[in-house]
Every structure is written in C-alpha cells, then in structure tokens.
Amino acid sequence: MAKEFSRRQLFRLGPKVISEVHKDKQEVEEPIPLRPPGALRDDEGFLKTCERCHACADACPYDAIGVFHGAEHGQHELTPFMNPAEKPCRWCKTMDCVQACPSGALHFNDDKPDDVDPESLFQYVPAMAKIQFHQDACLITRGTLCDECNLFCPTHTKSILVIGRNVRIKEDVCTGCGLCVAHCPATPNALTLQDCSPE
C-alpha cells in the first residue's frame, strides 16, 4: 500500500515535493528535503557529494540543521535538512555550516574572494528558498498593524520591508531562511517558502 503523507509531514521534509505516488509502479517517491545554506541545487548531486559527516549540523550555533535518522528516510538517511517551521535558519554572517562542509555539498558562490571578510561570507551563499507573500492573509491587509516579518528578517539582509500598510519583499536579496515564516502570526500564514531548486 502506498504511504500517505500529511501536509505537515511533507512540509517537515521541505517545500519541494515530488509526486506522492508513482502512477505506474504505485510507489511513493521521496519528497526532496530543504537543505542547509549553500547546498548543491541538484539533490541527486547533493546526495552523491554529501559525506554524511554531520559537520554542518555540528557547526550551526542555533542547532537549526537536522539530520535524517532511520532507514525510513531511504537515500536521504544521515543527510542534513532544514525545518524552518520549527527551527529557521539565522543566515549567520560567517556561515559556519558552509565553512565546515568538507565535500562541497555546501559551498560558496564562485565569485567569493579569497580574502573576504569572514563577517561578509553570507553574501556569497545562494538562497535556500524564496518567500511567497499572500497578501489576503496578511494582518496588515486585514487592518491590524503588524511588522513581525520585518522585525525577524536578518538585519544584514533585510529583504522584507513594511512601509505604512504595505509589505515589500526584496526578492533579489531574500535568502529563504524562514525566520519570517516561523514568526508570522497570521492564520493561515501570510508567508510561505517556495523552493528555488531547478526542476
């Protein structure tokens, strides 16, 4: 029998989900997890490159990187993942998780200078995901003053601005860390994560 996943279970594994049931084989295809900052976009390439050493998780000062344990996770077993709903990424300036990766599964952009200031390393890491703003669900749209998304957006990226009663998302600098999603008080959430990996 094909295994069924609740919406919450799927979100825990990441925002990008492949078909739940393979129509021909009647098998469940594994959801693609949301990976830590700097992860290779192609999950197949990530799985081949990741050494399952957990160095990134150990290096995270906020314990925001989880590791899949158990054979039920299939090929993802012992690989790192993010669950922004419970432990959003802080998008640290020094990107300790990326620095700790020995294999290149987590990596900096090619344009990173060799002599870059460690406090500026965050600028050379590709976004994990992108934010989708649902205006109808936003408390500001409903007439309630709120700036939680702006308040929790990392100060060194500041991709969300609240101007008057309007929310503006600077998509070119949004990292997809998930802090705004985790702290949005609206029900349903006015902010959700959209995977930006290639199809």
Domain borders along the chain are 8-126, 127-199
Alpha carbons 65 and 70: distance in angstroms, whole number:
16
pLDDT category at 64 given cuts 50, 70, 90 is: very high
- With 80 as the cut, is the pLDDT of residue 28 above it? no
Q: Which range among 53-67, 82-96, 123-137, 169-183 has the greatest average pLDDT?
A: 53-67
Tell me which amino acid residue 195 is. Answer: D
Question: Taking residues 99-117, what's their average pLDDT?
Answer: 95
Which CATH code is given to the segment(s) 127-199?
Answer: 3.30.70.20
Q: Looking at residue 13, what is its pLDDT?
A: 45
| List of long-range contacts for 141-150, beta carbons under 8 Å, 24+ apart | 141/165, 146/185, 146/186, 148/180, 148/183, 148/184, 148/185, 149/180, 149/183, 149/184, 149/190, 149/191
What digits encode the pLDDT tens for the residues 118-163? Answer: 999 999 999 999 889 999 999 998 889 999 999 999 988 889 999 8
Question: Taking residues 49-70, what's their average pLDDT?
Answer: 97
Instruction: Give the CA angle between residues 143, 147, 151 to the nearest 5°.
Output: 175
